[in-house]
Amino acid sequence: MNKDLREEALKLTPFHSRTSLACRTNTWYRWAGYTVVAEYSTTELEYTATRNGTSVMDLTPMYKYDIKGERAKQFMNYLVTRDLSKMKDNTVAYVIWCNEDGKVVDDGTVFCMNQNEFKLCCAVRMLTWLKDSAEGFEVDIKEVTDETAALSVQGPTSCSTLKNYGASDVETLKPFEMKKYSIDGYEVLVSRTGFTGDLGYELWTDPKNAEAMWDSLMEAGKHLKIRPMGMYGLEMVRIEAGFIQTGTDFVSSEHALRPVRMRSPYEIGMGWLVHLNKEDYFVGKRTLIKEKENSTTERVLVGLDIDGDKPAHGAVVYNKKKEDIGIVTAAIWSPTLKRNIAIASLKRPYGVKIKEDIFVEIYHPEELEYRKIWATCKVVKRQFYTPERRNAVPAEVY
């Protein structure tokens, strides 16, 4: 009767022995059946590490799949809206995929190991969807989430940290390229990818190497302002970068309770990932062609620049007639930009043709009471923060 069921309820990542020691606040977050750190010390310091030094975050809970076979590339090209027919070995692509109604199932990254072997990393469990979609392609699909330990290493000194770690020529990697390294006797796959909008990398290895990798990275970055970062810090930097998150900025069509909650790629700012002219058919192509041709897109996901300094968490957006035109999906006061920014889903033509004369209704807590604030705002580019170092080749080395 006195058995502790906590470890049985949530899995521990291969880095837990290190992250639990570093977590001074004992603040945890449930992510895809794992427990990960929400905040190590203060979110502000962890955020600052990403923008001014190196942050390290445990990515292990991301769902990961191996897709192998002679027709693996054809299957991936059929699954996603983006044209992957010319994708080269050792590269990564950001993708989305839809159902036949043209509604987004999820977004993620595709890793091309070679033309017959791909990896997919995403936020929503996709095993059943992948296997159902792969009927007729004769590919082998396996979930490898628990078999892969992953860390995100991000920030202006991240390249220098990795060079100290042993990835000697990592500065030559272009954005969305990857390379395997042998470091301290084990293999590490390093990809120049991330969810922070900054210079950064992601490291993938066997779980048995996790503790050694963590220790070596912390030693490698000790003079480069390295710091572990939790989920709260990630939320801040991803909003600044304008990156979308499943379950926050849109709902997966597989999880939506009502069709009205589903979104097409054009409604979440992902139209640039829809390649209607690619030769091969992809899931949802017919519907998306009709949506584009008939201009039936109802909503748009935009960036908002809001007056004042009170974040508009969950705020309703109104026009000057005080008619409800949308909702804020994510918001922060940006320490780097010194701006009150947000991501919002608006009803067209707001956000497309009408970008001003709109307002948000903010409820701000002050001494156990909420104060209602009407703040004017305007529609701006959703990518609020895009430093040059993010795409520089070679990457900056300190």
Which regions in the chain score pLDDT beneath 50? none
**Both 371 and 326 in a single domain?**
yes
Do 53 and 67 fall into the same domain? no
pLDDT of residue 2: 60
Phi-psi region of 242 (alpha: psi -120 to 50; beta: other; left: phi over 0): left
> Can you give the CATH number for the domain in which 122 is found?
3.30.70.1400
pLDDT value of residue 368:
86
- Please check whether residues 130 and 102 belong to one and the same domain: yes
Domain boundary among the residues 248, 277, 294 is at 294
Tens digit of pLDDT for each residue in 138-197?
A: 999 999 999 999 999 999 999 999 999 999 999 999 999 999 999 999 999 999 999 999
Asked whether residue 205 is assigned to any structural domain, the reply reads yes
Q: Report if residue 253 sits inside a domain.
A: no
pLDDT tens track for 276-330: 999 999 999 999 999 999 999 999 999 999 999 999 999 999 999 999 999 999 9
Q: What is the pLDDT of residue 27?
A: 97
Residue 357 belongs to a domain: yes
Q: How many C-beta atoms surround the C-beta of residue 43 within 10 A?
A: 20
Amino acid occupying residue 164? N
* 158 in the same domain as 56: yes
- Does the residue 244 lie in any domain? no
Query: Quick one: tokens of 274?
Result: 């829809």
CB atoms within 10 A of CB 136: 9
pLDDT at 165: 98
Can you read off the two tokens belonging to residue 38?
Answer: 């929400």
Q: Are residues 304 and 290 in the same domain?
A: no
Is residue 200 located within the same domain as residue 340? no
Per-residue pLDDT, 311: 96
| pLDDT score, position 161 | 98
Give the CATH number, domain containing residue 162: 3.30.1360.120
Sheet with 91-98: strands ordered across: 91-98, 104-114, 117-122, 63-68, 140-143
359 in any annotated domain: yes
54, 152: one domain: yes
Domain check: are 87 and 17 in the same one? Answer: no
Whether the CA torsion 193, 32, 127, 259 is positive or negative: it is negative
Residue 243 lies in a domain: no
Please state the domain count of the chain. 3
Domain housing 68: 63-139+264-294
Please indicate, yes or no, whether residues 55 and 70 belong to a single structural domain of this protein.
no
DSSP labels, 205-259: E-GGGHHHHHHHHHHHTTTTTEEE--HHHHHHHHHHHT---BTTTB--TTT-SSG
